[in-house]
């Protein structure tokens, strides 16, 4: 039985994003939950995705299509915490009719406030909004199986739509901490050696044409073509790192699949290292809280980026009289100690100590 993590549904005129709490239990019970940062790898596709996932992540054994997002832990208790999000939300042709009421503590039902204004959005497009707005920021690696979408041309159209929805991203996160997007395509070795750089260059040309297509007619007239520098900046600021990898035509080629798995884990570890260095990695015990808050933000604010800093203070908001307290504090400091750097360090330290959700340790520093 597939235990969903996220699914889309509707009842009468309301559209929901349902967040199931059961998948969080292994995360909460993991012995390293309060000391390690989780890495999440998202796999987006259909049949090929399922076949490959079964072989490279042995914990994923769901064989039937589910049309949801399933979250599973694929590490044992002694290894770094690694989660895999099995994403098939885009497969649903219509929204499920959710008749049952959500059970408090088991299911969180997030109602879209902006969806009624955009009812012409197909289910697959709504699913890709979930991928780009929710799954991408919480992942270290996002794997897109091109053959499940018809090829790299279709993936270029998908990522072009993502760049449009990601035109405003949070300025709290350095570009180097964005998830790595890996495009996986079947490659027959009889065709010759797979040149990753050439294949990526060819794909980015297709993506560039699609991004220009997504502009409005007015934008196309004002800026008919991006310069090479502008294009590189747009990629960095909206998508981050993009790479393209070959998949063996035969699932029995374990050596080639092991190489793919090794590359995925390497990219994930690299991104997580950048996040830890930039102090924007959060502990696994906070994953559920942050993600639930991100879901609430997404269903109510389509165009505004989610702020991890503001979310960390949701249960402990900044008092309205905070400015007065800061001024009063500075007035009490002797003149010879009123160095701005000294004052800022003291205030920042107080904010940092006061920002931990539920009194636990968190590396996101709200300064």
User: What does the chain come to in residues?
Assistant: 367
Which stretches within the chain are classed as H helix? 25-29, 47-56, 123-130, 136-138, 152-165, 196-213, 217-222, 228-238, 254-277, 287-300, 308-312, 322-332, 340-353
Given this model, what pLDDT does residue 183 score? 97
Decide if 235 is inside a domain. Answer: yes
Left (φ > 0), alpha (ψ -120 to 50) or beta: where does 210 sit? alpha
Number of domains the chain contains: 2
Task: Find the CATH number of the domain harbouring 121.
Answer: 3.40.50.300
Parallel, antiparallel, or unpaired for β 141-145 and 96-97? unpaired
308 within some domain: no
3-class SS at 119? coil
Instruction: Looking at the structure, tell me whether residues 18 and 123 fall in a common domain.
Output: yes
179 and 288 both lie in a single domain: yes
Residues 96 and 200 in one domain: yes
Work out the number of other CB atoms within 10 angstroms of the CB of residue 205: 11
Check whether residue 11 and residue 107 sit in a common domain.
Answer: yes
Q: Which of 280, 302, 324 is the last residue of a domain?
A: 302
263 and 322 housed in the same domain: no
User: 289 and 188 in one domain?
Assistant: yes
Q: State the Cα–Cα distance between residues 91 and 66, nearest whole angstrom.
A: 8
Residue finishing a domain among 302, 332, 354: 302
| 283 and 332 housed in the same domain | no
Which pLDDT score, from 0 to 100, does residue 170 have?
81
Residues 58 and 67: their CA atoms lie apart, in Å, by 21
Q: What is the pLDDT of residue 178?
A: 94
Domain contains 168: yes
Backbone angles phi, psi at 343, to 5 degrees: -65, -45
* pLDDT tens digits along 276-299: 998 888 888 889 999 999 999 999
Q: Which residue has the tokens 């599973």?
A: 72
What pLDDT is stored for residue 214 in this prediction?
Answer: 60
Using the 3D structure, point to which of 247, 280, 302 is the last residue of a domain. Answer: 302
108 and 160 fall within a common domain: yes
Q: Indicate whether 124 and 234 sit together in one domain.
A: yes
Residue of 113, 15, 296, 17 whose CA lies nearest to 7: 17
> Structural domain of residue 242, as residue ranges?
6-302
Contact (Cβ atoms closer than 8 angstroms) between residue 141 and residue 57 = no
Q: Supply the pLDDT for residue 73.
A: 86
Confidence (pLDDT) at 362: 46
Q: Give the C-alpha separation, 21 to 108, whole Å.
A: 8
With respect to residue 1, please indicate whether it lies within any of the assigned structural domains.
no
pLDDT at 150: 93
Identify the pLDDT of residue 144. Answer: 97
- Residue 102: predicted pLDDT: 67
DSSP-derived letter for residue 319 is: P
Residues 149 and 293 reside in one and the same domain: yes
Q: Residue 246: what pLDDT?
A: 94
Ranges in the chain, pLDDT < 70: 1-2, 59-64, 76-79, 98-104, 116-119, 213-224, 252, 351-367
Asked whether residue 38 falls in the same domain as residue 123, the answer is: yes
Same domain, 344 and 217: no
């Amino acid at each position: 039985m597939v235990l969903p993590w996220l699914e889309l549904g509707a009842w009468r005129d309301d559209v929901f994003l349902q967040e199931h709490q059961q998948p969080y239990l292994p995360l909460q019970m993991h012995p390293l939950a309060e000391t390690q940062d989780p890495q999440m790898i998202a796999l987006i596709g259909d049949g090929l995705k399922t076949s490959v996932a079964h072989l490279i992540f042995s914990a994923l054994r769901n064989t039937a299509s589910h049309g949801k997002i399933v979250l599973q832990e694929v590490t044992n208790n002694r290894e770094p915490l690694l989660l895999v999000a099995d994403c098939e939300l885009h497969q649903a042709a219509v929204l499920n009719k959710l008749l049952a009421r959500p059970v408090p503590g088991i299911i969180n039902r997030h109602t879209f406030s902006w969806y009624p204004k955009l009812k012409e959005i197909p289910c697959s497009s709504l699913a890709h909004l979930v991928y780009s707005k929710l799954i991408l920021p919480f992942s270290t690696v996002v794997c897109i199986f091109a053959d499940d979408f018809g090829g790299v041309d279709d993936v270029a159209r998908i990522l072009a739509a993502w760049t449009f929805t990601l035109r405003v991203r949070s300025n709290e996160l350095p570009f180097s901490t964005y998830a790595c997007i890996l495009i996986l395509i079947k490659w027959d070795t009889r065709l010759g050696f797979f040149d990753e750089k050439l294949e990526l260059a060819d794909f980015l040309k297709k993506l560039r044409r699609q991004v220009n297509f997504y502009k409005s007619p007015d934008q196309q007239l004002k800026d008919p073509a991006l310069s090479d520098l502008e294009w590189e900046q747009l990629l960095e600021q909206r998508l981050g790192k993009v790479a393209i990898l070959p998949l063996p035509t035969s699932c029995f080629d374990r050596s080639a699949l092991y190489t793919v798995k090794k590359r995925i884990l390497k990219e994930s570890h690299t991104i997580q290292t950048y996040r830890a260095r930039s102090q924007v990695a959060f502990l696994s015990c906070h994953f559920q809280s942050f993600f639930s808050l991100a879901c609430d933000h997404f269903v109510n604010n389509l165009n505004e980026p989610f702020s991890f800093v503001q979310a960390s203070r949701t249960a402990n908001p900044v008092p309205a009289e905070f400015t007065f307290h800061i001024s009063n504090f500075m007035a009490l400091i002797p003149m010879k100690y009123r160095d701005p750097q000294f004052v800022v360090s003291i205030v920042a330290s107080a904010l940092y100590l006061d920002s931990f959700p539920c009194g636990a340790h968190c590396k996101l520093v709200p300064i």
